Structure formats: structure tokens, C-alpha cells
Chains A and B, each alone.
Chain A
Amino acid sequence: MVEAYGRPVFNLALRMTGNPEDARDLVQVVFVKAYEKLDSFDGRSRFFSWIYRIAINESLNFVSRRKRLVELDEELVSNDRTPDEQAVSGEEERMVQAAMQDLTPEYRQVIVLRHFLDLSHVEMGTVLRLPEKTVKSRLHTARVRLADALRKRGYAPQ
């Protein structure tokens, strides 16, 4: 399970949180949860959509907890970049990562699923438990907002 899905789940967590250390922790949480809930996987959906759903939900929980923490005390969460983070990112990737954090988690997750995990609209609908039409509409808005966020940061995508 970890060998097959570890890498996509890590990438999903990394793009949702914007921080490699948080993504590391999230991957552990996701797989332990998946192990505990294995009995609830009924085989009607494909396994990847089941585990991605757990990953998305855990990422949303994490992001929401972090938001509350930042609201309570800005100093508790450092904005300093870790050496790991600096090492894995090129300038363009950093810019995208930063702009992604400007999106709400709901818009961020559709960008992640479509552009980083290459899921189709139908597959995204299964993971997010949303109608395909809603997924498509959310994805359109997310892209426009991401382009705006990049522009505001002085970056013109080419």
C-alpha cells in the first residue's frame, strides 16, 4: 500500500500544506487511518480514490487546524523555509507553491488532483464526492484564481 500510493499521497499532502515536514506527518496519519479503515473499503470505488479521499480529508483538517493556530498566535508557526523545502524547490515551483497557499483549500485540492495527480474530472468527482459539473466549475475558478495569485506575486506563467 505504501509502496504503491506513498508517492502520490506525499505529493498531494505537500501541495496541500506547502511544507515537506507537514506532508511527511500527514502521510503517516493517512496510512495509519487507511489501515484502520481498511474494513470500510467496499471495493465499489477504486482503491486510489478511496485513499486519496482520506488524504484530502486529512489535509483539509490539517490546513484548518493550522489556520486556527495562526489566528491564535502568528508566532507559533514560522514562515521560515526549512532546508528540505529549499532543496526540493526550484524558483518556479516555489512561486507556484506560494500562490497555491493563497487559494482556499477547496480550490487548492482541485488543482492538486487535476494537475499534480492527473485525475480525470470523473475520478475527481469520486474522490471529492461531488458531481462532475461541480468539479469542473470549481476547477475553472481555481485556475483563474491561481493565475491571479501568480500575477500578484509578479510571476507571469509561460
Chain B
Amino acid sequence: MIDREYERLIQDVLDGQASPAEIERLNAWLASHEEGRTRMRELEGLFATLHRVPFVELPHGLANDVQEAIRARAASRVKTKAGFSFGLFKPRIRLAMVFAAGIAAGVIGWGALTGILKPESSGRQPVVGAMMPTTPPRAGTVSRSWSAGSLKIESLVWRAGASRWMRLRVEGAPADVELRFDPVALSPAAVRQSEPTARVVLGPGRILIQAVSPGEFTLEFGERTASEPIQVIARAGKNQLSDRLPSP
């Protein structure tokens, strides 16, 4: 068993932290301690091994990915700042709003339970996502349809406020539909999907929709540059298509 003090001293010497006097003291101690010399060799080996571990280069494309992620975050922050926030109100007002919301929820719940308020079923397919306008405007929309074998995609794109909206109807699923866009110009904000089984992955400059069955997808993008198109790439088995969906 090596004395803790010498154990520490060995490391200080190897780490370049020891004074000349400490180095001399360690050498004197090592001269008469075989166990200490073994420990010294072992830790010397460890320092040398760690020194040989290479400093790895940044993987190709990572710097770009980081910059895109930052741009996307910057764009979403601009959008968030413009939106509604409870944080804008003083604590008392916030409390009052929460209280009022609770009362309203209670009244609606009581109404639903007693039958005074009758929730109406739309009878439509299940919907996942945020509240979004379901009807595009009559004017100013751009529509495109593509097909390749059994794969068929109908798209509609329009603008409302600071957002660009896009509706995709995918037939011939299972299919992967990838949307590529400039993350500086467009920032994904919300998605509504008619089929909950579909997987939608949002990323900076890219949205991947993995549709298991035919379905409809409505997407909202925060728009910073109006003219940027969205590239649509779709695959279903051997069928593949790719095109650009221009700005509305």
C-alpha cells in the first residue's frame, strides 16, 4: 500500500505540478520503494496512453448542421416572441386568468354532463395536432399533383398572416414523404395529421412524414422569406417522385 502523500506526489510530478524540491523528495523515496516505482511506471503509462488518444476532427457536415439548427431556432424564437404569452402578464392577472379558465372549464364540463351543452361529433377522421384553419382561401393558393405508380400526392399551399400553410394528401401508402426547405426562410411550426399512425419528424430544413396508410397532413411554417419553394420528395416501394412546390 502506497502512502497517500506519495501517491499524490507521483501524480503531481507526472502532471507537471510539482516543484523541484518535491521531485527530489519523490526520487529519494522511489529509490527505496519498489512498490512506488511500480506505481510510478503504471501512472506514467496511463499519462502516455491518454496523450496518444487522438483529438478527433469535427465530422463532415456537422458545422453546417449546427448552423442550420441555430438558424431554425432563431426563426422559431422570432415567431414565439410575436405570439401570445402568459408571461407578459403580472402574477395577479395570470392567477385571475387561470381562475377564470378553471371556472369556464367547470361550466362546460357541468353543461356536458347535464346535457345542456351537447358536444357534436363531426364524424370525420381522427385529428392530431394544434387548432389550425381547415379551409384554404379561394384565391392565392398553389396546387400541384404528382403520381408515380400507386403513389399519388396532392398538395395545396397558401399563405395566412406570417405563416405559410401546406396541405398534402398522400395515397399509395406506406410512403415516406420528405419536405426540404431553407431553414432560414421557413420554420416548421405545427402539423395536423388525419392518421395518428403516421410518424412526422420535424427538423431544421427538413420534415419527414412516414405515412403507414393514406392520409392528409396540414403543415404550418413560420415564413421569413416569402419566395422560397419547398422541395417534395416521396418514395413508396420502387415508386419515387421529386418536385418543387413554389411559394403561393
Contact = CB atoms under 8 A, between A and B. Distances in A.
A20 B53 CA distance: 15
A116 B51 CA distance: 8
Nearest to A155: B49
Given A14-B56, A158-B45, 18 more contacts: A3-B63, A7-B57, A27-B58, A27-B62, A31-B66, A32-B69, A32-B70, A88-B56, A90-B54, A111-B50, A116-B50, A121-B17, A140-B8, A140-B11, A143-B11, A143-B43, A147-B46, A156-B45
B142 interface: no
Contacts of B57: 7
* Most chain A Cβ neighbours within 10 Å, of B51, B70, B73: B70
30 contacts: A3-B63, A6-B62, A6-B63, A6-B66, A7-B56, A7-B57, A11-B55, A11-B56, A24-B65, A27-B62, A28-B69, A31-B70, A32-B70, A32-B73, A35-B70, A36-B77, A90-B54, A92-B49, A93-B52, A93-B54, A115-B53, A116-B55, A143-B43, A143-B46, A144-B7, A147-B42, A147-B46, A150-B49, A157-B46, A158-B45
Contacts of B123: none
Chain B interface category by residue count: 20 to 34
B150 interface: no
Interface of A: 2-3, 6-7, 10-11, 14, 20, 24, 27-28, 31-32, 35-36, 84, 88, 90, 92-93, 96, 111, 114-116, 121, 136, 139-140, 143-144, 146-147, 150, 156-158
A150 B46 CA distance: 9
Interface string B8-24: 10010001010000000
B40 to A, nearest CB: 12
Contact of B65 (A28, A111, A139, A147): A28
A147 B47 CA distance: 10
Tell me if B's interface is mostly helix, strand, loop or mixed.
Answer: helix
A11 B54 CA distance: 9
Contact of A27 (B8, B66, B73): B66
Contact of A10 (B42, B45, B62): B62
A35 B48 contact: no
A24 B59 contact: yes
B12 to A, nearest CB: 8
A110 to B, nearest CB: 12
A84 B61 CA distance: 14
B145 interface: no
B242 interface: no
B49 A10 contact: no
A27 to B, nearest CB: 6
A128 to B, nearest CB: 17
Interface in B72-114: 73-74, 77
Contacts of B62: 6, 10, 24, 27-28
A115 B42 contact: no
A70 to B, nearest CB: 24
Contacts of A35: 70, 73-74
Nearest to A10: B58
Contacts of A93: 52-54
B67 interface: yes
A93 B54 CA distance: 8
Nearest to A14: B56
Given A6-B58, A140-B11, A143-B11, A28 B66 contact: yes
A99 to B, nearest CB: 10
Contacts of B59: 10, 20, 24, 84
Contacts of B48: 157-158
Given A2-B63, A10-B62, A31 B69 contact: yes
